[in-house]
Structure 1
Amino acid sequence: MVIGLLTCEIFEDEMAHMLSHDPDIGKVTFVESGPATDSIASLHGLLGNRLKRIKDAAEFLPDSALSFEVLAAVLRVALHMDKTMLREGVAEQARILAEKSDVLVLGYGLCGNGLLDIEKQLVDLRCPIVLLQNKDGSTIDDCVCLVLGGTEKYLDQVRREAGTWFVTPGWLKHSDTLLLKELHCPDIATVKWIFKKAAYKRVLMVDTGIGDRETLSAETKKFADTFGFYVDETKGTLNILERTFEQAKSLLTKRERSGNVKVKEDKAEA
């Protein structure tokens, strides 16, 4: 059975880690694109011949011998700066993946409400959608909430220090692009002015345990020194991501037992 996965470039390390450590997933097929390059590179060493690449989702052929496999596509970071572009891009790619999937994991939060009620826009997809959700069933707000473990964990940190700028491994990797775009600034000098006016004073490093901690700490300190922040840190988690995939697998298992999993028109791989 095929789990479609559509996600943002900022989650590439977390997704690669989770996919490579899930024993139920027999194969991961990535639709090649610029934003997917790092994810493919990370997974190549972890999955070996269980990783496949295709140029277009239309080329995908499911393997009927596998219990679960993933068909993944990655969209570029910072689409949320243009909410119309974000929504249209996610909806378009979701429809493409859904044609080849039995369930679709939408690896996005609300993204500044740019994807609010996106599931209603995609209600006519040929397969069900599973969203990244808090424990209460609400969709998570963004990438920070995902690795913190939910929106409430984010709010807890803001209550401790309202002037907090959150950094995750994914955010730091793309910080040059994200920082100027998020604040709509032409240069770092303007960013400094905005941070000062907004009374930011703390940078919170969210350590998910993935990757090189020394590099994460050094990049966080560099960021903090640039803007005169003090550094704090908290432990991150992949619980929401893992729970979402378990939900997708459970849904497929139940549908298979009831005979409701859609049969692909494509022939399975030999």
Structure 2
Amino acid sequence: MTEGRLGMVVCPMLEDEAIYNLKNDHEDKRIYLVKGAYNTTIIPKLKQHNVPYTMIDEHTVLNGDYDHDGYTVIIWTMFMGLHEDIDMLRMEVMNQIVKIHSAVDTILLYYGRCGRGLDTICDWAYEMVPTPVCIFRNKDGTICDDCICIPVGGTERYLKLLRKYPGRFYFTPAMASNFEGFLMSMELFNGLDVKNDDIMKIILDLAGYTTVMRVQTGNGDQEHFDENIKRFTDKYNLECTRLEDGWATNDLADLNYDNAKSTMTRWLNEGKKERVIPNAE
């Protein structure tokens, strides 16, 4: 039985994976969602998937003034707009780690490389804070590239997908429910006002984007998935196609969550800070 405090630092583009992990982990646990400005999309999804949680203010968490016996998960959601500048993203994630590390026993970053902005974040954390810090990795131990790489099972499968279906927007439920934030995360649109429809249509046309590929992960906001995609395609005069079954998988969500829990257990029991190496089998 797991004991300890797992801190989840969650990008909105991977909050569906965080909810999936909590829903499918049948161990007894307390789940706390830290109050903040970036909980807009995660709260209705937690409710839609019947994941019980308690809202808590950050001051209470950092002071330890809450019931944290047994297994406890504490969720911090981050600002999607950090992806506009990878240096800012790296700095804010570092700041978050420094701020919360003493309040938890292991930190799991629901992030990938994000334009290489977080390539060395775990090496930095190993030297700078006593708490183990994990990030989403492929089965071979390399860091996942981005928020599409993870739901399709890793970098190798992602590259195969890009070769088979180039020049498309790949929309998971998380992206469909926050498509303006998703566009802000793309290098193509850095510095642009994604709310200016005329400019966005021009850029999309010049870049050759004509199609949205619907990627059904089974997670996130299923109730409004197709509606959210239609809002996007109607707004920018795009077509929609569906990715065939067999591509989307929760393998990496399972792998990384399980390894974060194992890392935490080993840290608490043996004092070994190194992450548990993912099992590629």
CA pair 163-120 structure 1, distance change in 2 beyond 3 A: same
Distance in 2 between residues matched to 1:251 and 1:109, nearest whole Å: 18
- Deviation, structure 1 residue 3: 1.0
> Per-residue CA shift, 1:142-197, capped at 9, x if unaligned?
11111222122221121012211111211122213443673143422232222232
| Contact in 2 for aligned 1:35/1:76 (Cα 8 Å) | yes
> Per-residue CA shift, 1:113-132, capped at 9, x if unaligned?
12121122222211111110
Percent identity for Structure 1 against Structure 2: 27
| Contact in 1 for aligned 2:177/2:228 (Cα 8 Å) | no
| Structure 2 residue 244 is matched with structure 1 residue 240 | no
- Deviation, structure 1 residue 6: 0.7
Unaligned segments of structure 2, at least 5 residues? 274-281
Distance in 1 between residues matched to 2:66 and 2:256, nearest whole Å: 21
Match of 2:19 among 13, 16, 20: 16
Distance in 2 between residues matched to 1:64 and 1:221, nearest whole Å: 43
CA pair 91-192 structure 1, distance change in 2 beyond 3 A: same
Q: Superposed, which structure 2 residues align to 1:244-263 within 5 Å?
A: 244-258=256-270, 260=271
Q: Superposed, which structure 2 residues align to 1:98-109 within 5 Å?
A: 98-109=101-112
TM-score by length of 2: 0.81
Which range moves more in the overlay, 111-120 or 198-207? 198-207
Q: Superposed, which structure 2 residues align to 1:111-126 within 5 Å?
A: 111-123=114-126, 124-126=128-130
Count of residue pairs the alignment pairs up: 259
| Contact in 2 for aligned 1:221/1:231 (Cα 8 Å) | no
Match of 2:99 among 84, 96, 100: 96
Paired position in structure 2 for 1:70 = 73
Distance in 1 between residues matched to 2:55 and 2:63, nearest whole Å: 11
Which range moves more in the overlay, 165-174 or 178-187? 178-187
Q: Which amino acid aligns with 2:174?
A: G
> Per-residue CA shift, 1:51-70, capped at 9, x if unaligned?
3422333133475641x211
Q: Superposed, which structure 2 residues align to 1:133-148 within 5 Å?
A: 133-148=137-152
Distance in 1 between residues matched to 2:51 and 2:159, nearest whole Å: 36
Paired position in structure 1 for 2:278 = none
Match of 1:208 among 214, 217, 231: 217
Match of 1:220 among 226, 229, 238: 229
Where 1:240 maps in the other structure, the secondary structure is helix
Distance in 1 between residues matched to 2:224 and 2:137, nearest whole Å: 30
Paired position in structure 2 for 1:130 = 134
| Contact in 2 for aligned 1:5/1:71 (Cα 8 Å) | yes
Paired position in structure 2 for 1:267 = none
| Contact in 2 for aligned 1:205/1:234 (Cα 8 Å) | no
Distance in 1 between residues matched to 2:222 and 2:51, nearest whole Å: 23
| Contact in 2 for aligned 1:8/1:108 (Cα 8 Å) | yes
Paired position in structure 2 for 1:158 = 162
Distance in 2 between residues matched to 1:255 and 1:212, nearest whole Å: 35
